[in-house]
Structures are given as C-alpha cells and as structure tokens.
C-alpha cells in the first residue's frame, strides 16, 4: 500500500518486462550487424518459450527446459539463416515466414502433445537474491531479487558490446555487415560468419523465450504477444548497439510498468497509447529528429559472390 | 457444388477464435461442449481453428459449406458471421457473446449475463479480503468486458462499502506478462484478491497472485486447477451447455434463431466451487452468496452492466 511498495514493484516489473526485449534485441544486433535483417525475433522467442515448456515438462528440470529452449530457437534461426544467407531470399519475407511458422507450429504441438487435460506444471525459475545487495532499501529488493535469466541478460549487454567492437571475431562480423565484398576479398568467410551470427541470435531468443515462459510457468497460444517486434524496435532505436538496446529495453519496459501503476492508482490513462510508445519513439528515431540511427550498410542484402 | 449436402446428413462445425483450442477458456470449453453434444446426439462434428482475425470470413464460410449447424466462439466474430450468414440462408449459425439488432433469421445469438456471476465474484472478493482492497484485470476495455467490472464492483461494494477497487486493462487476451504486470501493480497497492477477465493475459494475473500469496478469481471456466491454492473461485459461463443445447435442438428440429440469454436463473452463468479453499470463505459470506444468488435470479436485485467506477474506487 505504501509508496515504497509501489516503487519497488514498479522497478521489479520494469526489469521483468525489459528482460525479453534485451535478449531479443541482442539477438537482433548480432544478426543485423552481420548483414542479416531479423524480423523473426518474435517467432524465435515464441519457439524458445514453447521449447522451455516442453523441455521442462519432459525432464522435470530447469536445465532441461533451458536446453530445449535454446536448441529449438537455434534450429529456427538455422532455417532463417538458410533462407537469408544460402537461398538469398528476401529477408523480410523469410523472417515473416519464420514468425508464421512459429505461431502455427507451437499451437499445433501444444495441442497434439498436451491436449485438454490442463497443462502439466513445469519447474520455473524463482527470484534469486544477491546477498547484501538485496537488502538495500527500496531498490535492493527490486534490482537484486530477479530471475537468474535477468542477470544473464543485463550482464550480456557489456559482454556482447565488448566482443562486437573490441575483439577480432566481432570486428569480422561488423566487416561482413558493412562491406561483404571487401570482407570476402580479405579472406573472411561471409556466409559462415552470417550463419554463426544468426545462430547466435537464436541462442539469445531461446533464453528470452525461456524467460517469458518462466514468468508464468504455463504456455499459451502466441504468448510472446509482440515482444519480438518491440525488440526489433529496440534494435533500431538503440542504433544497432548493445548499450542502445539496453536503454531502449529499459525505456519500453518502464513505460509499460508505468501505465500499469497509473491505472491501478485510479487515473484515467489511455493505456493503449502507452502500449504504442515503443513504436512511436522508434518512428521518431528513424525519422532523424533526434540524433541519427544508421543500419549496417549491408543489412538485409543477401551476399552474392561474383 | 453440393448445396444440399448438409440437408442429407446433419453435422456441426465449430469455428474457434484466436488463442488456440486449449486456451483454458472460451475456445476450449465450447469445443468440449460441441464434442460432447455431437457424440450424445450421434452427429458428425468438425473444428476449424482460427489463427488470425483476417481468417474469420473464410473459416465461417468453409464451415457453412460442410455443416448445417455452425457454432462460432466469441464476440469478435460478430461482423464476419453476419456477412457469411446472409450467403447461407439454410445453414443454422450460433454465436456466443454477441447479439444483433434486429436479430438475423438464421442466427442464434447466445449472450451471458456475466455481470451476474461477476457480482457474486465481487461478494467473494470483498468477503475474503483482509486489506479491503480488491483488484480487477481486464483484457480490452470494451462493453462486453465492462460488464464484468460493473458486476464485480457492485458485488464488492454490496458486501463491504469500504472496499477499494483497483482496475487494470492489459490491452491483450494473449499477453501473459502484461496480465502479470497489471496484477503486480494492484498487489503492490494492497489488493489481496485479483479477478482476471482477460483470457490468456489473465492467466499471468493468476500467476502473479500465486507468487504474492494472495487470492485470484478465475473467469469463463473453473480455473482452480491452474493454481489450486490461489484460485478461490471462478465466474463461469456454461459454454459447454450452450453448445450442447444448440446441437440437441438442431438434431430434434426445435432450433430457433434469435437472442438467447444465459443467466443465473437458467444456470447459464455462476460461480465455480471453492475446492480446497472453502475454509478461507467465512460462513456469513457463503450464506450471503446464496441469498444474493436467489435475489438476482428472481430479479429482485438487478446488476448494472456499466461500471460506476471505471477507473477504480
């Protein structure tokens, strides 16, 4: 009831809502920095969520859930990579194909495997407190009492950032995404690097999907409900940089948490307008009003070796 | 063209709405009723699942081509059904939670007085709340769902006029995380009973209640099995009964078009049992529930359909 409880809960909710956007956004950055446009984040997250559910239900363990989540989302990323890199398909269409496939396939498998007897309870991942830090007043219980996957997501941001901009392998990814012909001439395997980058986005989406599922421990049809598209918006708003993705994810998560709080305070807020915030700020970002965002030069263009 | 195919052998086709056939709600329990009714009355049954609202017209058309009775789940399909029904005047159509003015000649519109069962849910919520604060998590803020809120707040305030009511709309029937966030915001402000009327999104609300060790009230079907120590009751619609009634009438040639109301009086809506949580409901609350149920059924108490406090109280 107290203001403190509202703030604590608001911060915790912000982090919970941001986590899948961070995972999806990092996946998007890795893939697009290599030159493969990734519209398929939504579908890969959904497959990751179902994968966790199926894996955890079958093995009875969190580890089994995570393993299947990552494996299945990576498999769907392999399909995208094959279409986009190998077959040279239009990457928007290839991405939408993966999304539609994910929606239909998870529905089908969910019904075929679990029927109507109610879903089996699956082991979830409770909040893990970080000793001492979680005792800080107000922010401690919200910042440092989170799912393990939330810590992983937020620590992955500097790690991916460092890897992408400061290591040889990361710079190879950037080269392939900007000037594939030059990279090829310099002896880099453009196809191989793009494949690996897209597969890495599958791993990130597998973890993000697992997080979404462990938030509620039950699967339902299309449960990702557009978070993959918000992650895509975070990639663009974040200027294809991991730190930018983090800022965007926190901003989008905070807006959604804020509208919840405003509603529960009894204020008449246009909640649908709040839910459109990620898309509105992305439109502002790409329109060039505030600063400039620039996509990798070869983003979305299949590489054809002459 | 086999225009008369369905005249020779009777069959029923169920067209589900988005959200999957096993959604723990609308689709699932209508589907189970269709299956049970068709089996009981010995006719063939089919299911067409909708993945996306853009498929409504096509799916209902396919259903009308293969069956003499077509049951459509959910108010979102109202306009699409109107279009298709005009093209197939000999087919019998059923829609749940939607009605037409004037009524269509070959459509039975089955509506539920959800405000009545929501009123009972409100009595339970205010009756078990220790903080005198109860929460409501709705899907999309439109008239069909406002009835739930209207009944809930009326019931809660009738049980205890000092009750505070927190109201949240998630904007979705599939986004479980949004339902969870909404319930969390209400719980942070002291709500210790959360009534969810938001399909799959509401299931996230039940999960938030379970994590916070407060009560939840399910919707549409008895959702106690989702969280047996949390879901104290559910405001149910007898979706299966509606499907079975329609099939029986169709088979025995007594099916009629028009609007049919399912309410407390004909047991088309009601409260699910308390299951293992009966001890949490004080005896005087249970007594009051029985009395209120009678008063509503007999028309002595008329439950409002428009919320008095759309933003909470």
- pLDDT at B235 (0 to 100): 96
- A122 in contact with B, Cβ within 8 Å: no
Give me the mean pLDDT over the A152-156 stretch. Answer: 96
Mean pLDDT for chain B overall: 92
Q: Kindly give the interhelix angle for A242-264 and B176-188, rounded to the nearest 10 degrees.
A: 60
Among B59, B67, B108, which residue's Cα sits nearest to residue B84? B59
Query: Which member of B169, B185, B311 has the closest CB to residue A9?
Result: B185
User: What would the pLDDT profile of B102-143 be if each residue is shown by its tens digit?
Assistant: 999 999 999 999 999 999 999 999 999 999 999 999 998 888
Closest CA to A259 of B246, B272, B175: B175
Between B290 and A141, name the one with better pLDDT.
Answer: B290
B23, B135, B186: residue with CB nearest A220? B23
According to DSSP, the residues that pair with B110 across neighbouring strands are B96, B260
* A101 in reach of chain B (CB within 8 A): no
Min distance A129 CA to chain B CA atoms (Å): 15
DSSP state letters, B149-197: HHHHHHHHHHH-TT-EEEEEE-S-SS-HHHHHHHHHHHHHTT--EEEEE
Rounded distance, CA B121 to CA B270, Å? 9
Question: Does B174 contact chain A (CB < 8 Å)?
Answer: yes
Q: Over the stretch B160-205, which tens digit does the pLDDT of each residue have? A: 999 999 999 998 888 888 999 999 999 999 999 999 999 888 999 9
Confidence (pLDDT) at B247? 97
Q: CB distance from A91 to chain B under 8 Å?
A: no
CA–CA dist B171, A218 (Å, integer): 20
Distance set, CA B148 to CA A28, A211, B137, B193, B236 (Å): 40, 31, 10, 15, 11
Nearest residue of B to residue A258 by CA position?
A: B185
Per cent of chain B over pLDDT 90 is 81
* B177 contacts on A by Cβ (under 8 Å): 16-17, 20, 212, 215-216, 225, 227
Quick one: average pLDDT of A26-30? 98
Q: Is A215 an 8 Å CB contact of chain B?
A: yes
CB atoms within 10 A of CB A60: 13
- Confidence at residue B2, expressed as pLDDT on a 0 to 100 scale: 46
pLDDT for A117 equals 64
Cβ contacts of A263 on chain B, cutoff 8 Å: 167-169, 182, 185, 311-312
Contact B226, B206 (CB under 8 A): yes
For residue A287, count other CB atoms closer than 10 A to its CB: 9
Nearest-Cα residue of chain B relative to residue A4: B188
Can you tell me which residue has the tokens 């598209």?
A229
User: Hey, how many other C-beta atoms are within 10 angstroms of the C-beta on A268?
Assistant: 11
Using an 8 Å Cβ cutoff, are B178 and B201 in contact? yes
Give the separation between CA B247 and CA B37, rounded to whole angstroms: 6
Q: CB-based contact (8 Å) between A112 and chain B?
A: no
Nearest to A260 among B21, B131, B185 (CB): B185
Taking only residues 218 to 237 of chain A, the set having a beta carbon closer than 8 angstroms to any beta carbon of chain B reads 218, 220-223, 225-227
Q: Binning pLDDT at 50, 70 and 90, where does residue B5 land?
A: very low
The count of CB pairs under 8 A between chains A and B is: 138
B49 in A contact zone (CB under 8 Å):
yes
CB contact under 8 A, B184 and A266: no
Tens digit of each residue's pLDDT (9 = 90 or more) over A160-187:
999 999 999 999 999 999 999 999 999 9
For B:9-48, CB contacts with A below 8 A are 18-24, 28, 31-32
Predicted confidence (pLDDT) per residue in A94-153, tens digit: 999 999 999 999 999 998 898 876 666 788 887 888 887 888 877 777 788 889 999 999
- As given in the structure block, the two tokens for residue B269 are 């809506």
Nearest-CA distance from A182 to chain B in Å?
44
Q: Is A72 on the interface with B (CB under 8 A)?
A: no
Cα B305 to its chain centre, rounded Å, is 15
- Residue B287 Cα, gap to closest chain A Cα (Å): 31
Query: Encoding tokens for residue B26?
Result: 């609308």
Whether A265 and chain B come into contact, CB under 8 Å, resolves to yes
Q: With an 8 Å Cβ cutoff, is B172 touching chain A?
A: yes
Name which of B168, B185, B205 to mutate to probe chain A: the one with the most chain A Cβ atoms within 10 A of its Cβ.
B185
- Average pLDDT of the residues in A65-90: 96
- Determine the Cα–Cα distance for residues B53 and B50; give it in Å rounded to an integer: 7
- ipTM > 0.85 (yes/no): no
Domain ranges of chain A: 16-117+149-286
From the CA of B90, how many Å to the nearest CA of chain A? Answer: 33
Q: Enumerate residues 6+ apart whose C-beta is below 8 A from B282.
A: B127, B128
pLDDT, tens digit, 9 for 90 and up, residues A276-296? 888 887 787 777 666 667 889
Q: Do A12 and B23 touch (CB under 8 A)?
A: no
Q: CB B185 to CB A222 under 8 A?
A: no
Task: Estimate to the nearest angstrom the gap between the alpha carbon of B43 and the chain centroid.
Answer: 26
Cβ distance of B176 and A266 shorter than 8 Å: no
> Are the beta carbons of A111 and B203 separated by less than 8 Å?
no
- DSSP annotation string for A97-138: HHHHHHHHHHHHHHHHHHTTS-PPP-----EEEPTTGGGSTT
> Between chains, do A221 and B312 touch, taking CB under 8 Å as contact?
no
d(C-alpha A89, C-alpha A302), whole Å = 7
The predicted pLDDT at position A229 comes to: 93
Cβ contact A222–B174 (<8 Å): yes
Identify which has the larger pLDDT, B30 or A279. B30
CATH topology of domain B5-113+239-262: Rossmann fold (3.40.50)
- The verdict on a CB contact (< 8 Å) between B22 and A115 is yes
Whether B153 contacts B213, CB under 8 Å: no
Give the closest of B32, B172, B312 to A266, CB-based: B312
Two structure tokens written together for B110? 């089955």
The CATH topology of domain B114-236+270-297 is Rossmann fold (3.40.50)
State residue B3's pLDDT score.
47
Q: Is the pLDDT of residue A37 over 80?
A: yes
Instruction: Choose, out of A19, A225, A230, A262, the residue to mutate when testing the contact with B (most B CBs < 10 Å).
Output: A225
Angle (CA) A254-A257-A261 rounded to 5° is: 130
**For residue B6, is pLDDT > 50?**
no
DSSP A212-237: HHHHHSS--TTTTTTHHHHHHHHHHH
Cross-chain residue pair A116–B32, CB shorter than 8 Å:
yes
Q: What is the pLDDT of residue A285?
A: 72
Domain ranges of chain B: 5-113+239-262, 114-236+270-297
């Amino acid at each position: 009831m107290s203001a403190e409880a509202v703030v604590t809960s608001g911060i915790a909710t912000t982090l919970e809502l941001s986590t899948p956007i961070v995972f999806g956004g990092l996946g998007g950055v890795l893939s697009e920095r290599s030159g493969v446009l990734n519209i398929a984040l939504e579908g890969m997250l959904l497959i990751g969520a179902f994968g966790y559910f199926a894996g955890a239900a079958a093995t009875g363990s969190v580890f089994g859930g995570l393993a299947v989540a990552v494996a299945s989302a990576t498999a769907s990323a392999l399909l995208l990579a094959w279409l986009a890199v190998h077959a040279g398909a239009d990457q928007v269409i290839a991405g939408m194909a993966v999304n539609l496939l994910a929606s239909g396939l998870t529905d089908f498998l969910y019904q075929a495997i679990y029927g109507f007897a109610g879903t089996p309870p699956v082991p979830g991942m409770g909040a893990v407190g970080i000793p001492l830090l979680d005792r800080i007043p107000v922010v401690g219980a919200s910042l440092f009492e989170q799912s393990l996957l939330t810590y992983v997501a937020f620590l992955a941001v500097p790690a991916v950032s460092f890897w992408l901009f400061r290591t040889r392998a990361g710079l190879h990814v950037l080269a392939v995404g900007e000037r594939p012909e030059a990279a090829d001439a310099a002896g880099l395997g453009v196809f191989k690097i793009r494949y690996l980058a897209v597969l890495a986005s599958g791993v990130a989406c597998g973890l993000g999907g697992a997080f979404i599922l462990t938030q509620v421990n039950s699967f339902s049809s299309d449960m990702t409900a557009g978070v993959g598209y918000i992650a895509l918006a975070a990639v663009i708003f974040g200027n294809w940089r991991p730190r930018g993705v983090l800022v965007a994810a926190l901003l989008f998560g905070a807006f959604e948490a804020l509208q919840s709080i405003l509603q529960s305070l009894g204020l008449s807020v246009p909640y649908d307008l709040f839910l459109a915030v990620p898309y509105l700020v992305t439109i502002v970002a790409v329109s060039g009003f505030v600063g400039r965002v620039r996509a990798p030069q070869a983003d979305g263009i299949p590489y054809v070796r002459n | 063209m086999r225009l008369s195919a369905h005249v020779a052998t009777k069959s029923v086709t169920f067209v589900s709405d988005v959200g999957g056939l096993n959604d723990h709600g609308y689709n699932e329990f209508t589907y189970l009723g269709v299956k049970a009714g068709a089996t009981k009355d010995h006719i063939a049954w089919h299911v067409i699942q909708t993945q996306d609202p853009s498929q409504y017209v096509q799916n209902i058309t396919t259903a009308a081509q293969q069956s003499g009775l077509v049951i459509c789940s959910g108010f979102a399909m109202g306009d699409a059904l109107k279009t298709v029904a005009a093209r197939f005047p000999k087919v019998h159509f059923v829609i749940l939670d939607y009605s037409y003015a004037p009524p269509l000649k070959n459509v039975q519109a089955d509506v539920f007085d959800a405000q009545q069962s929501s009123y009972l849910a409100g009595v339970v919520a205010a009756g078990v709340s220790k903080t005198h604060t109860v929460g409501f998590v709705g899907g999309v803020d439109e008239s069909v769902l406002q009835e739930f809120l209207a009944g809930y707040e009326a019931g809660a305030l009738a049980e205890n006029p000092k009750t505070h009511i927190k109201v949240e709309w998630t904007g979705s029937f599939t986004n479980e995380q949004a339902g969870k966030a909404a319930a969390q915001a209400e719980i942070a402000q002291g709500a210790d009973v959360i009534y969810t009327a938001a399909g799959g999104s509401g299931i996230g609300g039940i999960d938030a209640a379970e994590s916070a060790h407060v009560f939840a009230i399910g919707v549409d079907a008895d959702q106690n099995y989702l969280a047996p120590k949390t879901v104290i009751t559910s405001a149910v619609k007898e979706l299966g009964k509606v499907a079975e009634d329609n099939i029986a009438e169709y088979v025995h040639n007594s099916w009629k078009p028009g609007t049919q109301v399912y309410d407390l009086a004909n047991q088309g809506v009601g409260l699910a049992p308390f299951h293992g949580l009966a001890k949490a409901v004080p005896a005087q609350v249970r007594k009051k529930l029985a009395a209120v149920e009678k008063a509503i059924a007999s028309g002595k108490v008329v439950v409002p359909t428009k919320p008095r406090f759309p933003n909470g109280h």
